[in-house]
Amino acid sequence: MSDILKEGKFVWNEKYNIVKEIDDQHKQLFAIINKLIDEINSTPKQESVNKIITEILDYKNNHFATEEKYFHQFNYAGTEEHEAAHRYFSEQIIKINDKYLGDSVSLAFELIDFLENWLIMHLMTIDQKYKQCFLDHGLR
């Protein structure tokens, strides 16, 4: 098990840091995921899970737009690869949601598994690739 998940909650670690604006957004995703975990632990209700899914989708739209704005502004060499990863994330969230319509418990568990794997791969590898580019362009 990764160190991203401790005692059943997603925990931020300084090694995930990139630049403050992006870090703050990533921390927001951790908080949303932890809300989903709390929902699972208190007998999930379809309405509550759907609300959290909407939060994840809203987060995703905002966060990806932020990253992609900087990719284009800074002519980041890995833009195409990173945007492909964003499309994959979006597609997977929709697939998981469609797969479990009406079954909030199964949806919540699969979503957490997907998000844990995504965050480990994305934060520790893909996002780290653009860190230096962002720093070189003055983001802190």
pLDDT at res. 2: 65
pLDDT at res. 1: 45
For the domain made up of 48-140, give the CATH fold.
Four Helix Bundle (Hemerythrin (Met), subunit A) (1.20.120)
pLDDT digits (tens), the chain, 140 positions? 467 888 889 999 999 999 999 999 999 999 999 999 999 888 878 888 889 988 998 999 999 999 999 999 999 999 999 999 999 999 998 898 888 877 877 888 899 999 988 988 898 899 999 999 999 999 99
Q: What are the CB-based long-range contacts (under 8 Å, 24+) for 32-40?
A: 32/56, 32/59, 33/112, 33/115, 34/9, 34/10, 36/108, 36/111, 36/112, 37/8, 37/9, 37/10, 37/112, 39/108, 40/105, 40/108, 40/109, 40/112
pLDDT at res. 66: 98
pTM strictly above 0.85: yes
